[in-house]
A and B are shown apart, each in its own frame.
Chain A
């Protein structure tokens, strides 16, 4: 079973920031938080991942609470093309050969509206 809890759906107005929450209260010290999204009938797209520090890239920002029990993915200026199912996944990460597998939960269906 997935180790994360996400709201099943969210709406966001085009041009506004989309803040997608994720709870992972049982996260272990060596587990990273990964975010992927899946646009209808396509393969999942990697967005961002982090361990404990906040992360930012060209797609999004990831805010992880100090206790690491929850995180928020932020799309700063949502567009219609950001409409997708967003998956928050915790997984043993880092370098080397001991990474865990990506286990997908139900995700959050984000609908960006004009």
Chain B
């Protein structure tokens, strides 16, 4: 299957700081990327959808000023958690959709574990 990478895999930060997470599609072009969040023992929750070159679409209840998403190229999307607080500690997972070759199947990155102290 297609490969999606995330960096970093794990980050610990102090409350009030900002954290940037990168998501890359390594062997295909992704016009659409997705960001999910997963709390312990819970299922994945879609946060936002981003299309290359345009503003992200956020799900209800997700603060767009807190979770900044940039999708500047067909292979890279970034999620910045601004002014992070302990309640933002979670497993953040990105996903990319290959529009051209793989029947629009969506592939997921390995996730980023964020811990805010």
Contact = CB atoms under 8 A, between A and B. Distances in A.
Given A95-B103, A102-B95, A43 B46 contact: no
B93 A101 contact: no
Contacts of B58: none
Interface residues of B, number: 25
Nearest to B36: A104
Contacts, number: 56
B91 interface: yes
Contacts of A43: 4, 6, 93, 95, 108-111
Interface in A73-114: 87, 93-95, 97, 99, 101-107
Given A41-B111, A43-B93, A43-B111, A106 B106 contact: no
Q: Residue among B6, B43, B45, B107 with the most chain A CB within 10 A?
A: B43
Interface residues on A, range: 20 to 34
A104 B43 contact: yes
Interface of A is mostly: loop
Interface of B: 1, 4, 6, 34, 36, 43-46, 49, 91, 93, 95, 97, 99, 103-111, 113
